[in-house]
Structures are given as structure tokens and as C-alpha cells.
Amino acid sequence: MAATRKVNDLISIEEIGAIALICIDNPPVNATGQAVRQGLQEAIETLNSEGKAKAIAVYAAGRTFVAGADIREFGKPPMPPALPDVFNIIEDSAIPVVAVMHGTALGGGFELGLSCHARVGIEGLKVGLPEINLGLLPGAGGTQRVPRLAGIPMALDMALSGRQVSAKEALEKGLIDRLVAGEPREVAVQVAEEVAAGKLATRRTCDLNTPKDDKALDDTAAMLKKTQAHMYSCHKIVEAVRASYLPRTEGLKIERQAFIDSMQTPQRAGMIHAFFGERAVSNIPEAKGPTRPLEKVGVIGGGTMGSGIATACLLAGLQVRLVEVAEEGLKRGIATITKNIDGAVQRGKLKAEKRDAVLGALTPSLNMGDLADVDLVIEAVFEQMDVKKDIFTKLDGICKDGAILASNTSYLDINEIAAVTKRPQDVLGLHFFSPAHVMRLLEIVVPDKTAADVVATGFALAKKLGKVGVRAGVCDGFIGNRILAHYSKTASYLVLDGASPMQVDNALEGFGFAMGPHKVGDLAGLDIGWMTRKRKAATRDPAERYAGDVADKICENGWFGRKSGRGYYVYEGGATVPNEETLAILDQVRAEKGISPRSFTDEDIVDRYMTAMIVEAARVVEDGTARRPLDVDMVFLFGYGFPRFRGGPLHYADTIGAKALVERIEAYAKEDPHYWQVPAILARMAKDGGTFADLNKEG
Ligand code: 3H9
């Protein structure tokens, strides 16, 4: 006879003969919030005090086992019982406890499993310690119990990478004891009966000793010192894993303190903002309405961008028609797509046996008429308004009713493009970032007359492609490129006024960018910015200080960066060294302009660069191009290599404060009052004490 009783709303106990099952039911991901912790503790204590059950199995309802601590509780006053204490009670249970895990057992969820006396995985299970992605470290025994079961290198790997480990690997490494197929409850019954009958061995993880490996610890500590200066929790992970040599109580104490200290860091705040921002960005009414069909996609243009977009669509299982004007361009497009797909196989993103089928979903064509039956067309040709207008006029005549006509333009006015069609309600901007099959950002640019279901389909496409879709309004450069166009001038001004391009790069890499702006320019091709400056020359505001003198001269020499072997740097034999000739050009430009170079500290450089970024980001929010500050933050995290641990430009702005920012801008404005102007939104915040986080809450 089975009897079920509720411990509280989220935890229940079911008794079947000599076994007891504890079920955690806290949708969507069974996070260990206060009620789950309390309920688990009470369930174990009750069963032990009753002393009837011979074995206990813990499992979870719904799509996954426990995905970790409840992140929404972080930053708030702690509410007892603490997770490590609950897990110690489980580990100390006189009745053996087996964990039955399915889905993703992550962080505190996996640590719950580790505190049980045996672990059974259900096929498809993934386990992991992803706390590092939140600026934290495992804080409920992960750093103590994983090394005891699987050794120090595995514990360091899991906690420092945050990667999800497959069930097969977890079994091989001794992190789980068995891998089976089945439904969690049925498996729980079966394994609890086996434990009760002594057929499945159990043991306390903390009774094991961590195998010594000082070399792995020392090497990792030294490596992190060099490469992860910013990430407090990385260094603490090594310390905590080293503490697993100690008895349980002492080791857990060291882990606990490191966890509490990590919780106080700005990195934790930045990374948790990034975690929720990634999910909140598409959590808007416009993304949720009815959508249009999305199976066949046409891509116009087989260049780098078009091929990348086609690759992304193919990898998501869509049928793709690729259209080019000339045979040669089409062949190049097919070759690039094939190379991208092969790369996906090599990187483990696509199973080798699926390669041919994925490529088989690509239909190349030289005839735009072949786009008659597609659901969505994405135009990715040269950035020239008349070319785009010509294509959209043709598409208007070719495509079926209801097809979505999208442009991948990175700055052109999509309202103007939509106006050449008789169906502006079907026109949308879908701005991908290069390489389009890798970069996760998709700006969904919404012109004035676009229909609601077209916008919702844009978000559905982002989801299908595994991208982060961010809504943007129409303006020159939308959210990301508009802000970039503004703040990148700061880097040029700093260089004209006395810093070297290398100092600027080093300072910003020190801040956390993977590459400084001059290295990025060399990588992207300096000719791109040169073309833009030439295009905008006629409309340039005469009051604006010109930022392109040095870059123009470099380009006039035919130095376009990496692709030509030199730009700000010289690229030879795998080495990157400063280009002395560029530095000579810089001296010459300064002399011509009568600038006597002055010195900037690295802090000055970061402050000016970041303030310029925040200024334009604030304006983008102010005029509604971005709906919320977090939308800007996600654009920069997923499209521009902004350091994740800083949360994004406007999250970072809050850490400085509006008042301090306004003071900075006013000080810089003494040198250049045209460039440095306080956005009204920031002035208001400085006066009222408001923050960008407040605006996020207001939605
Ligand atoms: C930790 O465990 C610390 C311990 O070591 C020590 C403590 C003392 N809490 O991602 P999805 C929400 S740190 C609260 O869209 P999927 C999420 O916001 C934690 N909420 O689904 C979303 O809400 P909404 C370590 C959470 O299927 C909804 O669930 N664990 C949590 O694509 C669905 O999420 C992690 O870092 C949470 N822990 O992916 C795991 N997790 O619908 C973080 C999710 O309102 N989570 N939510 O937007 C994940 O990686 C993914 O959510 C998961 C599911 C893979 C589980």
C-alpha cells in the first residue's frame, strides 16, 4: 500500500512498504528555495525519527531534477535552513538515501545528489557546477564531494568551466553509480527497493578521501592568476577544492566562507543580471503573440553574412534557399556554408551523421523567382540603399502573400526600404552579427508599419536559432552600432591626444574586453570604417571633432588590418606587434594639428571610453530605440564582447552612479563640449537618485 503525505507545498513523502520516496515539485526547475530546503530537511528528519523505511529515494517532478539554488534569493537576507546544512543532514541520515536524477542536475541540484549515498542517472541527464557563470562557486559541498568521488582535476574542470557533463561521462568518472532509462518515480521505486534489499551499494561521499594532487591545484592557481585577474570566485574555487583534503566540517567551512565572500562581489551582481537579462529580453508582449509559419527561409547574398545566416538556419533545421546573382558568388556561398557546417561538426555542435541531411536542406539558386514559396526572406547584400530598394521591389512581386521580407542591414532606414513595397506590414529588420552562425545576438528591428505577428515571428526565429533576440527601433545603427559609432570616437580622441593605440587596447583588455578597439578594428578590416567615414563625410556635423585622421591615413597606405598583414599592429608569423609606421603617422598627424601629446592613465582611458558608451546607451533608452536598459546590456554582452561579469554598459553605469557620471561628463565637456553632453535621462537620475535598474523594473 502506498501512502503519500505532504511535508509542505513543494515536498511530499510517499511510502511503499519498506521504502520511502521524497518528491520535490517546484516548477519550473525545482530550484532549492527556502521551502524546498525546509521541506527536504523535515522529510529526512521525520523518516529517520519514524525509523520505518529501509531506504529513501529523492527524485523530482517535471522536466528536470533540481537545477540549483534559487537564484532569485541571491542578494537578499539568507533564510534558514542553509543548503549545506540540509545536505549534511541527508549525508548523515541513518537510512540510506539514493538520488534519482533526470534532466539537468546543476549547482545545488547536483550537490544534493552528491550528499546522497548513491546516485542514479536517467538517460539524458546532465550534471554540472555552473556557479562560476554567476560569479560564484559551488557553495553546498560541490568543491568537497566532487574531488572525493572523481579527483581534483575533474572537480577543478567542472567548477571552473561550469560545463554540463553528460551522464555517460559522469558514470565513467564515478559521479553517478548507475545510468538507466525510465520515468523518475518508477526508477526511484526500483532503486530504493534495491537499496533496501542491499543490491545497490551505498556510502557517504564525505567518508572518502580526496586523492592528493597538489600539482593540479598549483598549476591551476598559477594559470588563473595570469588569465582571470577579475574573477574572484575562480581563485576561491582552487582554495575550496584544496580544502577537500580536510575533514568534511573544516572543508565545508572554507567553501562556505568563499561562497559568502563571492556573493558580495560586483561580478556576482553583473553575472546574475546577465542570467536574468538573457531571459527577460524576449519576455515582452510583442514576442509572445501569434506567429507566422517558419519552415522555408530564403537568403539573398552568399557573402560572409548571407552564408553565416544560411548556416544558422540550416543548423536549426530550416529549409534554406540561397540566392545569388552570379554563378561565382553562388559557388563561394555554398563553399562557405559547407565549411561552416563542417566546422560545426568539428566543434561538436552537429553530429557527423547529420551533416549531409543538413546540407541537403540547402537549395542554391540564381533566380529570385525561386523565393516565391518561402515563409521568410532575409536579404544580406551590400549596404547600399538603392540596391536594397531594388531587391525589395522585386521581392514584393515574387513572394507569396504573408511572407516576411527581412533585411539584415546594419544601419539603413528600414522604413524607407519597407516603403518601396505594397506590404510594409510584412517588412522587418533582422540584424545578425558576424559570424552569424556563431554570434548569439539578433537585433529585431521594428519599422513603423510592421504587423504584430511579424515581430513575434522574428522572436520565434531567434529562439529557433538559439539566439538572443533583442527588439530595436529604427535609427542609424539601431542599438549596438549606433552606440559603437559614438564611443569608438573616444578611442580615436585618446590616441590623438597622447595615448598609444596599444595603451588604449591594454587598458580596455584590463577592464575585461577580450580585445581592445584597435585590435578589433584590425580584425574586422579597417576599410569598413573608412568606407563609412567617406559615406558620411558630406553630412558630418562641422562642429564635431573629426576622429578618423589616423585611420584614414593607415587605409590610404593599403593597410586594412589583419587581412593585409598590417594596420595598428603588424601580423607576422603568428606574432602581433605594434606597427611602428602607424605610430609615425600618429606623430605626424599630431604635429600637423598642433597637438602636444599628454599622458593618460589606464583608469582615465577606461573611464572616458565607458562614459562615452553609457552616454549613447542612455540616449538609446531615452528615445525608445531600446525599450529597457537591459536590452542594451544584452546587445553588448551577446554582440560586442562586453565582459559578462560587468553585466552590460548600463548595469555597469549603475555601479558608478548617475551623479558621478554627470560630473565626469561635465569635466570632459570642458575640453570638447560638442561631444560630451549629458543625456537628459542621466541628468534626471542624478537629480532624483534613480538608476537604470529601476527602469528595468518598470519595464
Ligand atoms: C547554486 O546552485 C549555488 C549552490 O552551489 C550553493 C547555494 C548555497 N533559480 O533557462 P530557462 C528559471 S547557484 C531560479 O528558460 P531551459 C529561469 O529564470 C545555481 N530560477 O529554461 C526561467 O524563468 P522564467 C546554479 C531559475 O529549459 C525558468 O526557470 N544553477 C533557476 O532553457 C526556465 O529557465 C544554475 O546556474 C534557478 N536556479 O534551461 C542553473 N534556473 O520562465 C541555471 C532557471 O520566469 N539554470 N530558473 O524566465 C539553467 O542553466 C537553465 O535554466 C536550465 C533550464 C538548464 C536549468
CA of 10 to the centre of ligand 1 (A): 17
Write out pLDDT tens, residues 616-630.
Answer: 999 999 999 999 999
Q: Whose CA is nearest to atom 43 of ligand 1?
A: 67
Of 104, 105, 110, the C-alpha closest to 144 is 110
Farthest CA pair distance, the chain: 93
Residues in the ligand 1 pocket, defined by CB under 6 Å: 28-29, 31, 64, 67-72, 83, 104, 106-108, 111, 130-131, 134, 138-140, 142, 279
Q: Whose CA is nearest to atom 51 of ligand 1?
A: 67
Phi-psi region of 49 (alpha: psi -120 to 50; beta: other; left: phi over 0): alpha
Q: Which atom of ligand 1 is nearest to the CA of 67?
A: 56
Write out pLDDT tens, residues 346-363.
Answer: 999 999 999 999 999 999
CB distance 196 to 55 below 8 Å: yes
Tell me the whole-structure pTM to 2 decimals.
0.92
In this predicted model, which residue has the larger pLDDT, 382 or 314?
Answer: 314
CA of 40 to the centre of ligand 1 (A): 19
Helix (H, G, I), strand (E, B) or coil at 236: helix
State which of 32, 63, 70, 71 you would mutate to test the pocket of ligand 1, scoring each by most atoms of that ligand within 8 A of its C-beta.
Answer: 71
Q: Please name every residue paired with 164 in a beta bridge, in sequence order, or none if there are none.
A: 128
Rounded to the nearest 5°, which phi and psi values hold at 10?
-110, -15
Of 392, 391, 428, the C-alpha closest to 291 is 428
Write out pLDDT tens, residues 280-302.
Answer: 999 999 999 999 999 999 999 99
CA of 269 to the centre of ligand 1 (A): 16
Q: Whose CA is nearest to atom 53 of ligand 1?
A: 67
Active site residues: 111, 131
Residues in the chain: 699
Spatial separation of the C-alpha atoms in residues 420 and 442, rounded to whole Å: 24
Name the pLDDT band for 532 (thresholds 50, 70, 90): confident
Q: What share of the chain is helix, strand, coil (3-state, %, to 5)?
A: 55, 15, 35
Flag whether pLDDT at 699 surpasses 80.
no
* Structural domains of the chain in order of their starting residue, each with its CATH number: 2-263 (3.90.226.10), 295-478 (3.40.50.720), 481-698 (1.10.1040.50)
Q: Please name every residue paired with 19 in a beta bridge, in sequence order, or none if there are none.
A: 16, 55
CA of 13 to the centre of ligand 1 (A): 25
Q: Whose CA is nearest to atom 50 of ligand 1?
A: 67
Write out pLDDT tens, residues 458-491.
Answer: 999 999 999 999 999 999 899 999 999 999 999 9
In this predicted model, which residue has the larger pLDDT, 78 or 622?
Answer: 622
Lowest average pLDDT, out of 277-281, 482-486, 534-538, goes to 534-538
CA of 68 to the centre of ligand 1 (A): 7
Name the pLDDT band for 76 (thresholds 50, 70, 90): confident
Q: Whose CA is nearest to atom 55 of ligand 1?
A: 104
Interior angle at CA 400, CA 370 and CA 299, nearest 5: 45
Q: Whose CA is nearest to atom 6 of ligand 1?
A: 139
CA of 111 to the centre of ligand 1 (A): 15
Flag whether pLDDT at 2 surpasses 80.
no
CA of 71 to the centre of ligand 1 (A): 7
State which of 24, 29, 260 you would mutate to test the pocket of ligand 1, scoring each by most atoms of that ligand within 8 A of its C-beta.
Answer: 29
Spatial separation of the C-alpha atoms in residues 134 and 270, rounded to whole Å: 8
Q: Whose CA is nearest to atom 47 of ligand 1?
A: 29
Q: How is residue 612 written as a grid cell?
A: 562615452
Predicted local confidence at residue 1, as pLDDT: 60
Flag whether pLDDT at 276 surpasses 90.
yes
Predicted local confidence at residue 229, as pLDDT: 81
Q: Where are the beta strands (DSSP E) in 108-264?
A: 118-122, 126-128, 164-166, 178-180
- Residue 673: count other Cβ atoms within 10 Å of its Cβ: 11
Question: In the chain, what percentage of residues exceed pLDDT 90?
Answer: 93
Tell me the three-class secondary structure of 161-194, residue by residue.
HCCEEEHHHHHHCCCCCEEECCCHHHHHHHHHHH
Q: Which atom of ligand 1 is nearest to the CA of 109?
A: 2
CB distance 264 to 279 below 8 Å: no
Name the pLDDT band for 698 (thresholds 50, 70, 90): confident
